[in-house]
Amino acid sequence: MQFMHLKNKVTMKMTLKNVGLVLGLTAISFSGLAQKNKVTDAALEYNKIDGLLYKQDFAGAKAVATTAKEYIDESYEWAKANPTEKKIDKIYYYKGKIYTKLVSIDIAMNAQTPENINEEEITAYFNTAITAYDEGYDLANKYKRDIETSAKETAGIMSFMANQLYEAGEYGGAGEAFEMAGKCFSAIDILDSNYYYNAGLSYRNAGDQASKEAEPHKKIADMADDLDDEMRKEKLEIVKSYLDKRDEMYKKGARAFEVLAKADYRGATGAVLAASCYAGAKDFEKAHATLYAAEKKFPGNLDILKQRVDVYLAQENDEAAMKALDDAIAADPENAVLYYSIGSIQMKLENYEEAEKALMKSLELDGKNVNTQYQLGALLYNWSGVLAVEAKNLPLGDPNVSKTEQKADQKMKDAIKYLEMYLESEPNDKYVLDNLYKAHYKQGNEEKSKEYKARLDAL
C-alpha cells in the first residue's frame, strides 16, 4: 500500500505538472489570439480614417487614429516580448502605418491652426513609425513588401512637404522633412543620399538665415553711445536667440551630412560639408575631427585641405590658416579662391603688398569674381588712405613725401578701377557708390563724382 501510495503521489505530481504546462500553453495561445484580434481591430479603425479626412473631419480622424494606436501599441508590446511568434510583422507594419497617419492628421490640423502646432508630438509619432518599419523590416516575411511600400509612401509625403517648406523659405522645417524622408528609406536598408543632402543644405540655409537676422540687432547693440543699458540688453538677448538658432541649425545640418560622410558620399564631400556646418556653429573641435577622419580615408584630398582653411579662418587663427593655405596651393596652384583667402588674411594683417599680390593673382585666375573685385578695390582704397597719412607725417622737405603721395594717388586710381568693375555686376551697392563719389572728388574728377552722387541719391 505504501508503494501504491507513493506511485499515486508521483502520478498526481506529474498530472499537475502536465496540467500546468497545458494551461500555460493555452494562456499563450489565447494571448496570441487576443493580440491578433487587437491587430484586426487596429486595422479596422485605421481603414475609417481616410473617409474622415476626405470630409475634413480632422478631429474625428484623430480620435479614430488614437483608438487604432491604442490597439496596435498593445499588440506591439506583445510582439516585442514574443519575437518568435508567426506573422508578427503585420503588427509592425500597422504600427508604422497608424503612426504615419497620425503625423498626416497633425499636419493637416496644423495647416488650419498653425499657431497650435505640436512639433514634438509630430516628431515623436514619426520616429515611432520609422522604428516600427525598421524593426519589422528586419524580421518581416509576408509583410516585407508592404513595409517597403509604406515606408516609401511616407518618404514621398515628407518630400512633398519638404519642397513646399523650402519654397516658402522655411528652411529649418524643410530640413526636418527631408531628413524624415531619408530615415524612411534607411528603415528599409536604403540610403537615399538626395534626401540627406537636401536636409543638410536646408539646415545650413536656416543657419545662414538666422545669422543674417542677428546682424541688424547686433549693430544696434554695438552703438554704445546711443543706447541705454536696458535697450542694449534687450538687443543682445535677441542676438543670442538668433545665434542659438544658427548653431542648432548648423549642427542639424552636420548631422545630416555625416550620414553621407559615413557612406563616403562623393568621396570626401559629405565630411567636408559636415565640417563646414560644425564650423558655422563654432564647434571647431568637431569640425577638425571630421576633417581628420576624412583625411585618413582620402589623403591629400583638395576639398579637405580647402575646408581646413575655412575652419581656421572661422576660428580667426590666421597663422594656421596661412599654413593650411600653403598646403592647399601646393596641391592646386591655379585655385583663385585660395589666393583670395590669402589676400583677405594679409589685408586683415595690414600686409598691403602681400595682400595686393595675392588678390591680383586671384583676379588673374578668375577675372569675373565680384568678391575679388570688391576686396581688391577696398584694399587699394584703404591703402591709399594709409599712404596719404604717412606722407603728411613725414618731415617737411623729406624726399619721400612726394613719392608717398604719388603712390597714394596711384593706389586710389587703381581702387577706382576695381570698384567700378565691381559695380558692373552690383550697380546698387550704396557703400561702393558712396566711396566712388568721394574717391573721384579727391581725384579732382568733379563730373564723375557728381555722377556717382546722383546714383547714390536715387536709391
Task: Return the higher-pLDDT residue of 224 and 184.
Answer: 184
The share of the chain scoring above pLDDT 70, in percent, equals 90
Within a domain: 64: yes
Instruction: Report pLDDT for 8.
Output: 41
CATH number reported for the structural domain that contains residue 425 in this entry:
1.25.40.10
Within a domain: 210: no
Q: For the residues 184-197, what does the mean pLDDT come to? A: 96
Domain interval for residue 55:
1-137
Instruction: Report pLDDT for 253.
Output: 98
Q: For the residues 332-356, what does the mean pLDDT come to? A: 92
Per-residue pLDDT tens for 219-271?
887 765 566 778 888 888 999 999 999 999 999 999 999 999 999 999 999 99
Alpha-carbon gap, residue 151 to 96, rounded angstroms = 8
The CA-based angle 376-380-383, given to 5 degrees, is: 140
Rg (CA), the chain: 34
pLDDT at 24 over 70: no
Task: Return the higher-pLDDT residue of 118 and 67.
Answer: 67
Domain termination residue (choose one: 106, 137, 168): 137
Amino acid at residue number 80: K
pLDDT at 30 over 50: no
Alpha-carbon gap, residue 380 to 413, rounded angstroms = 9
Per-residue pLDDT tens for 108-127?
887 767 666 788 899 999 99
Within a domain: 15: yes
Per-residue pLDDT tens for 142-165?
899 999 999 999 999 899 989 999
Q: 379 pLDDT band (50/70/90 cuts)?
A: very high
Instruction: Report pLDDT for 74.
Output: 92
Within a domain: 453: yes
Domain termination residue (choose one: 121, 137, 153): 137
Within a domain: 237: no
Within a domain: 72: yes
pLDDT at 25 over 50: no
Instruction: Report pLDDT for 227.
Output: 63
Beta carbons of 39 and 72 less than 8 angstroms apart:
yes
Q: For the residues 178-198, what does the mean pLDDT come to? A: 96
**What is the number of domains present in the chain?**
2
Within a domain: 209: no
DSSP character for 114? G
Within a domain: 316: no
Domain termination residue (choose one: 89, 122, 137): 137
Helix residue ranges, H only, 267-335: 269-280, 284-297, 302-315, 318-331
